[in-house]
Structure formats: structure tokens, C-alpha cells
């Protein structure tokens, strides 16, 4: 197979004559199609054993020269190809403003795959992917770009047999989202026939920077698209452990009966990073920890933990239940914000034995910045299941350890039975769902310590994904990209969920901004955040689960 691909690999002539480039690419691509019988002998083109649908797809990436494409999308597509989850009728078209032809773009991406892949490279698979890779240079604001795009899509669709299924991925700055969609709509490139072919848009966060801008973006998208064509992606939901929350809850009869206010004392959701803002100072100054993480990552995880059982695992049934949970979050007034939230900003410190700079000394950060790099809060959910159960959320940069996890702490058993023994207290059972970096689930419970006295110790049952199922190479995007191609929106945010998420965050932002410097609590890099975050739980008689 490898020799066949090399022999008929489409190569782009140098120069700026786009029409000639397309004709040459399509001519050579048709040559590949003529040799499909040879290629079909490869295991790469056999049907996947799990029976999942692999519809023909023409994958269009706006922002093809960006970091997201290089580090996440292309490696994810390579992993999908290597695991037999891409169709044979598949092509990728990169669109960006940097002048380049297809041949040079393939060389660049080929080098990126070699350098960034998390698995050993199979040359055959890499060449198969590169032979389906094309490039179009053009300004996102120029209507002529979309006229040339229309011509190229038509020809590539014929050459690769993608049956009119176009998947557009917005790997651009958010300022281009509405512009690109409107330009595509003006050219009729978003009109779909559900019985014949699909036209879908994938949008990366942030989905706006507050509630009004989120509503404006949603309206701009709905002016051109139906809601079922829009896939708002959150890469955290591509992690196996997040998806497993639903299976863990609803497929195991021993957990769902106790998943409520009668047995659960509180829930903690932590997304901690040991890194600073790195090269994202300009973006982070506008966003901050609260806007960057809470409306999407943390609230999405919360919705999986707290949602009611859906009638089916149909995408809309799941998304309906997630939306209900978010709408049930108790709204905060200014007094609630003061009592139930904490903002922090990292100062100089040490992480892993290495000294690190304070936030205000980072590149592209204001030396007197009031942007928070840490956010913590207590949320309540107004529902029968969760009445009186606090949900503690925190996220921050330059914290002690990189970890994302959900902690379910159950109520302690009555001590009455042990009143005449040396046991003076009972440790509550704790269920920990580790999302990263070591994906797994652990459950702690009490057991008698060997000996003549009645003494209770805490032991752990621990499950690790890598140990049981193997450590499959992943960027976090593989499942999400596969689901978009298959038309499964379960793991993607709907417009109402986006807006509800911002309605939770906006009141907090307004109070913090009004307080200015008084809202920001400093914390030393390498710690678990400002002392005020510990006090947030201590006043309820609880404490964060921190890692040493």
C-alpha cells in the first residue's frame, strides 16, 4: 500500500495560480481514486469493529497555520486514522492568511506530525493523511476567499467522494467566528440536506466574554445555521473520565441510589494548573481565570455530576438534563458574591524546585494588573436531589500540582455504635474521579486495623484507566472530532447552556470589577491558592482535598 500511495501522491505545483493548483490537485486525486481497489486492501480502510459510523467528510480548518491545528487537530486526526476511525472518503482543507501552497503545507504538517505525535509514527498512515491534505491562502474578510473556497470544495468533494459533507472547524481568534460563518452562508456553503449531506460548524471557546456577547454570537450563528449544525467544543469533555461519569453513575446500581442530598455531604471540582500564563498574557488579561474556565470547563463537569438521569442517551435528552442543572444553580446577589467567592493572583514562588515569576511580571501582562489567576466559589443547586449540598469549585494557575478531579464526599456514618471503643471519630467515605493527569477513580472507606482493639483506618480502592484499558495516545480531541463527523452532539454545548453559564459568572465578574484591588487576594506560586479560599470551606466546617 505504501508504494501505491507514494506513486500516486497528489503534489501541488509551486506558484500562486490557485485554479491551476486546484486542477492539478484534483487531477492527481482522481488518479488516487482510480487505485482505490489497491488501497482497500489496507486494514486502514476496513470497517471498525465497534460498528461506529464513519461518514465521508471534507474537513475544512480555518486557522490552519495556528497552534491549535498543529498541536491538537492534526495529531488527533492522525490518531483517528491510526485507530481505524476515519473514512476512506476523507480530505482536509486548511484555510489561512499566510501565503503557502499545498506542497509546502504538507511538508510543514508532516514535520509537525513527526515532532508532536504521542505515538510512534506509521509512515503509511502519515502519507495517507498527507495525501488528503490541501491548502487555500486567503483573507477571512475577503469575499473572494470564499469564492475560491467554493470552487475548491466542489472539486475536492468530487475527487475524494466526500458526498457533500462539509465540516468547518473554527481554529481562529473568536473575532472571526461570526465573519466566517456569514461569508460561508452568503456563498450557500452552509445549506444542508439532512437526508443527503451535512454542513456543520465547530467553534472553540470562548463563546463570548459575557452574557450579552454570548447572546450576540449565538444570534449571529442562528441567522445562518440551525442549532443542530453548531458544535461548540470543550476539549475537557473529550477526556474519557468526564464521559465515564455518566456510565459510572447510571450503569452501576450501587451508586445512583446514594447520589443525592441524603448521602452526599458536598462536592468539590478542582481544575489546577502548575503552569503560568506562558505566551497567553494578552488573552489572559482580557479573560482571567473566571471567564476562561468556569462557564465552560467547570460548569460542564458540574452538569455531568449533578444532572438527572436522561430517558435515553440520545444527544438532546442528555443536553436537556445538563441545561436543567445549570438553570437550577442558585443566582448570586452582590452579598452572595462577597461571601461565596474568592479571586486570587499568583506571586513569585517555586514549583518543582524552580523559581517562577509573579503574574504581573509575565510577558504581555500589565505590571499593575487586577486580573485574577485563581477563582473559587460555592454554588448551590435548587433541586430536590441537591438541596443543601454545596458544590465547591476552584481553578487556578501556578498551583502546587496539575490536577483535574471531582471529589464526592459522603456524609459520615453515626458514631453511636463506636461510643465505647477507642474510635473517637469516623472518616467520611470519599469518591474521587480523576480527570487528569492520571485518569481513574478511587473510593476510600473505613476498615478495622488488625489488633485486639477496635481501631478504624482508611483504605482506598483505586482504578486507573491506563492499567485496565491501556494508555491510548490522545490529544483530547479524538472523540469529539469523531462525534462531529457522526453528527453526535452529546458532548457539545447548546446555545442555552452557554448563556446560562454566563448568567452564573456575570454577577461575580461585576462585583470583582467594582472592588478592584480589594477583590484580588495574592498567593505564592506553588501553593494551593490564597488562604481566603481555604476559609471559604472552613466556615462550613470543611476543607479542600489538596495533593502534597
Length of the chain (residues): 548
Cis previous bond, 12, omega within 30: no
Look at residues 363, 172, 393, 443 and name the one whose alpha carbon lies nearest to residue 290. 393
All residues at 6 or more sequence positions from 404 whose CB lies less than 8 Å from its CB, including other chains: 236, 270, 271, 272, 434, 435, 436
250 three-class SS: helix
Active site residue 400: no
- Phi (first) and psi of residue 501, to 5 degrees: -60, -45
Quote the distance between the C-alpha of residue 479 and its chain's center. Answer: 11
Residue from 85, 160, 235, 297 carrying the catalytic annotation: 297
Whole-angstrom distance, CA of residue 260 vs CA of residue 385 = 5
Whole-angstrom distance, CA of residue 253 vs CA of residue 543 = 29
Look at residues 394, 390, 378 and name the one whose alpha carbon lies nearest to residue 530. 394
255 and 497 Cβ atoms separated by less than 8 Å: no
- Phi (first) and psi of residue 376, to 5 degrees: -140, 150
| DSSP 8-state symbol, 444 | E
Given its phi and psi angles, is residue 510 left (phi above 0), alpha (psi -120 to 50 degrees) or beta? alpha
Helices (H) and strands (E) in the chain, counts: 19, 17
Look at residues 220, 349, 351, 365 and name the one whose alpha carbon lies nearest to residue 279. 365
321 three-class SS: helix
Whole-angstrom distance, CA of residue 410 vs CA of residue 448 = 19
The CA-based angle 280-479-465, given to 5 degrees, is 95
The DSSP line for 509-545 is: HHHHHHHGGGGEEEEETTBSS-HHHHHHHHTTT----
All residues at 6 or more sequence positions from 237 whose CB lies less than 8 Å from its CB, including other chains: 243, 300, 480, 491, 492
Hey, how many other C-beta atoms are within 10 angstroms of the C-beta on 147? Answer: 13
- Phi (first) and psi of residue 276, to 5 degrees: -90, -155
269 and 301 Cβ atoms separated by less than 8 Å: yes
Catalytically annotated residues: 297
Amino acid at each position: 500500500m505504501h508504494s501505491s500511495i507514494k506513486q500516486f501522491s497528489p503534489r501541488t505545483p509551486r506558484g500562486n495560480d490557485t485554479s491551476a493548483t486546484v486542477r492539478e490537485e484534483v487531477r492527481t486525486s482522481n488518479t488516487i481514486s482510480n487505485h482505490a481497489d489497491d488501497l482497500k486492501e489496507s486494514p486502514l480502510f476496513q470497517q471498525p469493529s465497534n460498528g461506529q459510523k464513519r461518514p465521508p467528510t471534507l474537513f475544512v480548518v480555518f486557522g490552519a497555520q495556528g497552534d491549535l491545528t498543529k498541536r491538537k487537530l492534526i495529531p488527533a486526526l492522525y490518531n483517528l486514522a491510526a485507530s481505524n476511525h476515519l473514512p476512506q472518503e476523507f480530505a482536509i482543507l486548511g484555510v489561512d492568511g499566510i501565503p503557502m501552497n499545498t506542497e509546502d503545507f504538507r511538508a510543514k504538517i508532516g514535520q509537525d506530525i513527526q515532532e508532536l505525535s504521542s505515538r510512534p509514527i506509521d509512515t503509511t498512515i502519515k502519507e495517507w493523511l498527507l495525501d488528503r491534505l490541501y491548502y487555500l491562502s486567503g483573507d477571512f474578510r475577503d469575499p473572494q476567499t470564499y469564492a475560491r473556497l467554493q470552487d475548491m470544495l466542489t472539486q475536492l468533494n468530487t475527487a475524494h467522494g466526500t458526498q457533500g459533507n462539509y465540516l468547518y472547524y473554527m481554529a481562529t481568534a473568536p473575532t472571526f467566528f461570526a465573519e466566517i460563518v456569514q461569508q460561508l452562508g452568503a456563498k450557500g456553503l452552509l445549506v444542508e440536506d439532512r437526508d443527503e449531506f451535512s454542513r456543520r460548524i465547530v467553534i472553540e471557546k470562548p463563546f463570548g466574554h459575557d452574557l450579552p456577547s454570548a447572546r450576540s454570537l449565538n444570534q449571529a450563528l442562528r441567522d445562518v445555521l440551525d442549532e443542530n449544525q453548531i458544535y461548540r467544543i470543550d476539549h475537557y469533555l473529550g477526556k474519557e473520565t468526564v464521559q465515564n461519569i455518566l456510565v459510572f453513575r447510571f450503569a452501576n446500581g450501587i451508586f445512583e441510589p446514594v447520589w443525592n442530598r441524603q448521602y452526599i455531604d458536598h462536592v468539590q471540582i478542582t481544575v489546577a494548573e502548575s503552569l503560568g500564563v506562558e505566551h497567553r498574557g494578552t488573552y489572559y488579561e482580557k479573560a482571567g481565570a473566571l471567564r476562561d474556565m468556569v462557564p465552560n470547563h467547570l460548569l460542564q463537569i458540574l452538569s455531568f455530576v449533578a444532572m438527572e438521569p436522561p430517558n435515553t442517551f440520545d444527544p438532546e435528552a442528555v443536553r436537556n438534563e445538563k441545561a436543567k442543572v445549570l438553570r437550577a444553580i442558585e443566582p448570586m446577589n452582590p452579598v452572595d458574591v462577597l461571601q461565596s467567592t474568592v479571586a486570587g493572583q499568583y506571586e513569585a514562588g517555586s514549583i518543582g524546585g524552580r523559581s517562577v515569576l509573579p503574574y504581573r511580571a509575565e510577558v504581555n501582562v500589565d505590571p499593575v494588573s487586577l486580573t485574577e489567576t485563581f477563582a473559587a466559589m460555592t454554588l448551590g443547586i435548587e433541586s430536590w436531589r441537591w438541596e443543601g449540598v454545596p458544590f465547591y469549585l476552584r481553578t487556578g494557575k501556578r498551583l502546587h500540582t496539575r490536577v483535574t478531579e471531582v471529589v464526592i464526599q459522603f456524609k459520615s456514618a453515626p458514631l453511636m455504635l463506636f461510643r465505647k471503643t477507642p474510635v473517637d471519630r469516623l472518616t467520611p467515605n470519599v469518591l474521587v474521579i480523576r480527570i487528569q493527569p492520571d485518569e481513574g477513580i478511587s473510593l476510600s472507606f473505613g476498615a478495622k486495623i488488625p489488633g485486639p482493639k477496635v481501631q478504624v483506618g482508611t483504605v482506598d480502592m483505586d482504578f486507573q484507566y491506563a492499567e485496565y484499558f491501556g494508555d491510548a495516545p490522545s490529544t483530547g480531541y479524538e472523540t469529539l472530532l469523531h462525534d462531529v463527523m457522526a453528527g453526535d452532539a452529546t458532548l457539545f454545548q447548546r446555545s442555552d447552556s452557554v448563556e446560562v453559564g454566563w448568567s452564573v459568572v456575570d454577577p461575580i465578574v461585576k462585583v470583582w470589577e467594582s472592588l478592584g484591588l480589594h477583590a484580588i487576594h495574592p498567593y505564592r506560586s506553588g501553593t494551593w491558592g490564597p488562604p481566603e479560599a481555604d476559609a471559604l470551606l472552613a466556615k462550613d466546617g470543611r476543607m479542600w482535598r489538596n495533593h502534597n
